[in-house]
Amino acid sequence: MVNFFDKSKNLDQKKKIAELSVAIVEDGMTIGLGSGSTMAYFVEAIAKRMKNEKLTVRFVPASKFIEKKAIEYHLNMISIDEIEEIDIAFDGADWIIGKEILIKGGGGSLFREKKILLNAKNICILADQRKYIDSLSECIIPIEIIPFGYTKTLQSIEKIGGTCFIRKNKDEENFVTDNFNYILDTKFSGIYNWKAIHEELKSIQGVVDTGVFYGMEFNFIS
Ligand code: 5RP
C-alpha cells in the first residue's frame, strides 16, 4: 500500500495561505472550491469574510468532502451544471513542477477538481512550500479507474511502465471516489514526459482521468 501523503503536515502554513487567498474574492462572484485540507481552511476563512462584509458569493464544490465543509459553514452552493462559468477556482495540489504541471488526487477528487479548474476563468493554487519539486520522476500519479475489470486496466497500465497500487481506505477496502470509481496510485520511475504519459493513460479503456493537470494557467499563492 502507498502512503500517499501525510495531510497533517504544514497545517499552520496551509491555514495562513488560505486566509491570504480569500482577499481575492469579490462580491457577486461564482467561486470553484477544490478539495483537501488547505481548501477546508479556505472555507473557514471565506465564511468569516462573508459574514463580516456581507458578501454574496456562490460556490461550486468539487468533492463531497468540501461540500460537507461548506454546508457546515452555511455557504451558498450551486452545481457546476447550473452555471455558465466559474470566476475563480481555488484548489490545493500535491506536487507542483515548473509552475506548469500539477499532480493532484491525493484526496481522490481529481476528476471533479479538473472539471472545476477547466471551467474557471482564473485558477488560484494554494500550495505550501513542500509542494514545489524539481522532478516528477519519483512522484505517485493517482489514476481514477472504473471498478469493472479494474485488474485488467491495472495490467494495461503496468504494460506501459507503471507500478500500480490500488488505493485502500482505513478498513483496507478499495477506496471509492465520489464518482464510485477506484484510484490506482502509480509510479513511473525514470519517465519525464508526463503530458505524454497522461495522454497514453487516457487512451487505456477503463481509465477515467489522471492526476496530471496541465494546459491551464495556474496562479500560485504560497
Ligand atoms: C485532492 C487534491 C488536493 O488538492 C491535494 O491533495 C492537496 O491537499 P492538501 O491541501 O490537503 O495538502 O488534489 O484530490
pLDDT band at 10 (very low <50, low <70, confident <90, very high): confident
> Measured in angstroms, how far is the CA atom of residue 37 from the centroid of ligand 1?
7
CATH number of 11-129+216-221: 3.40.50.720, 3.40.50.300, 3.40.50.1360, 3.40.50.620? 3.40.50.1360
Q: What is the pLDDT of residue 155?
A: 98
Average pLDDT over residues 12-25: 96
Give residue 2 CA to ligand 1 midpoint distance, Å: 16
Query: Where, residue-wise, is CATH 3.40.50.1360 in the chain?
Result: 11-129+216-221
Q: Where are the beta strands (DSSP E) in the chain?
A: 30-33, 58-61, 86-91, 95-97, 101-103, 120-126, 140-145, 163-166, 182-187, 207-210, 212-213, 218-221
How far apart CA 184 and CA 153 sit, in angstroms, is: 10
- Position 122 scores a pLDDT of 98
Closest protein CA for atom 6 of ligand 1: 106
Residue having the nearest C-alpha atom to atom 8 of ligand 1: 36
Residue 126 Cα to ligand 1 middle (Å): 10
Q: Which H helix or E strand runs over 48?
A: helix 37-53
Give residue 178 CA to ligand 1 midpoint distance, Å. Answer: 15
Query: Mean of the per-residue pLDDT values for the chain?
Result: 93
Compute the radius of gyration of the chain from its Cα atoms. Answer: 17
The architecture in CATH of the region 133-212 reads: 2-Layer Sandwich (3.30)
Q: Ligand 1 atom closest to Cα of 40?
A: 10
Kindly tell me if the per-residue pLDDT of 55 is higher than 80: yes
pLDDT digits (tens, 9 = 90+) for 207-217: 999 999 999 99
- Cell digits for 24? 481575492
Residues 144-200 have pLDDT tens digits of 999 999 999 999 999 999 999 999 999 999 999 999 999 999 998 876 788 999 999
| Lowest model confidence (mean pLDDT) among 11-20, 61-70, 148-157, 192-201 | 192-201
Q: Across residues 104-109, what is the average pLDDT?
A: 97
Give 1's pLDDT tier (boundaries 50, 70, 90).
very low
Closest ligand 1 atom to 106 CA: 6
Query: Rounded to whole angstroms, how far apart are CA atoms 194 and 215?
Result: 12
Intervals of CATH 3.30.70.260 along the chain: 133-212
Reported pTM: 0.94
User: Would you say 44 and 99 are in contact if contact means Cβ atoms under 8 Å apart?
Assistant: no
Ligand 1 proximal residues by C-beta, below 6 Å: 7, 14, 34-38, 91-94, 104-110, 113
Residue 180 CA, distance from chain mean position: 16
ipTM of the complex: 0.97
